Amino acid sequence: MEAQALDKDLQKEHQEKIRKVISEVGKVVIGQEYMVNRLLVGLFTQGHILLEGVPGLAKTLTVNALADVLKLDFQRIQFTPDLLPADLVGTMIYNQQKAEFEVKKGPIFANLILADEVNRSPAKVQSALLEAMQEKTVSIGDTTYKLDRPFLVLATQNPIDQEGTYPLPEAQVDRFMLKVHVDYLSKDDELEVMRRISNMSFNPQLETILTKEDIFSIRNEINQVTVSESIEKYIIELVFATRNPLEYKLNDEAQYIQFGASPRASINLNLAAKAMAFFNERDYVLPEDVKEIADDVLNHRILLNYEAEADEVTTHDIIKTILSKINIAK
């Protein structure tokens, strides 16, 4: 009983630290609590995040601030058209003094990777990044190296600036746990941003809140969150509704869906819902947890056809309808 009480106390401590992380990042970034929350979901469930939004919405600044609050090794990689895979993972260099080749590791060897404007680099570079994300290893020469744990990739892309870009194929985008659409700030938040940035002396010092040990412990606690069989079946129904909309009487939506969500959607929706429950200080998942995170898990895994584009129907519209029509079994 004492051990269980101690675990509960530790969970409360970690949940308080999570709130502090969001608050600490808020010293630098205004009005992006939603984005910070989703970044933490990825961190604690070992899922990589794709951030999409127009320029100037503090995507890069938010990740930088989060890295300062977490005691993790951080690397920012600016993706450009001339970037090579070796610039990312590393290469073999010749040491003239020793007359032998040595390994020079690339910036991928860090805990937190910011892949800035990931769609500006060609397919070979994107593939090198996504291979590291999937396998958690990197091969240089004849040697394979394990990446440090925790390892999290936060990639950003701008949706409106397509000139000189190489859009990620749907199969590769599927490897991201969440695709978070970052929206414009409210008037009040943007007013506060303007005032802060206009103050030339504005330079807040961020406090380190979480260590690696905290992160591994929180991951274990989230893993202990209970998902009932009815919630599990609810998740499956939501995912299958994207694949077979006619079976779920989604007749209007069926004409727009070319491909539904992959099995990764079911896995990641389950994991993300557990994280949301933990953030809300519960050790069990409710349907509300699933609904809250469903759009971020599913929106990049549903491929729409040209008819949807012509009618200005988005994946967000499809997901919203599915959530409204699919009910959890009693």
Q: What are phi and psi of 82, to 5 degrees?
A: -100, 10
| CA neighbor of 289 nearest in space, from 37, 16, 97 | 37
Answer yes or no: is pLDDT of 319 > 90.
Answer: yes
CA–CA separation, 140 and 301 (whole Å): 32
Instruction: For the chain, give the percent of residues with pLDDT over 90.
Output: 49
| Total residue length of the chain | 330
Answer yes or no: is pLDDT of 176 > 90.
Answer: yes
Q: Quick: pLDDT tens for 100-131.
A: 778 888 899 999 999 988 888 888 888 888 88
Work out the pLDDT band at 4, boundaries 50, 70, 90: very low
Q: Tell me, what's the pLDDT at 5?
A: 44
Answer yes or no: is pLDDT of 160 > 60.
Answer: no
Report the DSSP beta bridge partners of residue 180.
Answer: 51
Answer yes or no: is pLDDT of 9 > 90.
Answer: no
Answer yes or no: is pLDDT of 317 > 90.
Answer: yes
Answer yes or no: is pLDDT of 90 > 50.
Answer: yes
**Strand pairing report for 49-52 and 178-181:** parallel
Q: Quick: pLDDT tens for 31-56.
A: 889 999 999 999 999 999 999 887 77
Domains of the chain listed by start with CATH number: 2-83+110-199+209-213 (3.40.50.300), 225-325 (1.10.8.80)
Mean pLDDT of the chain: 88
Among 11-15, 199-203, 239-243, 269-273, the minimum mean pLDDT is found in 199-203
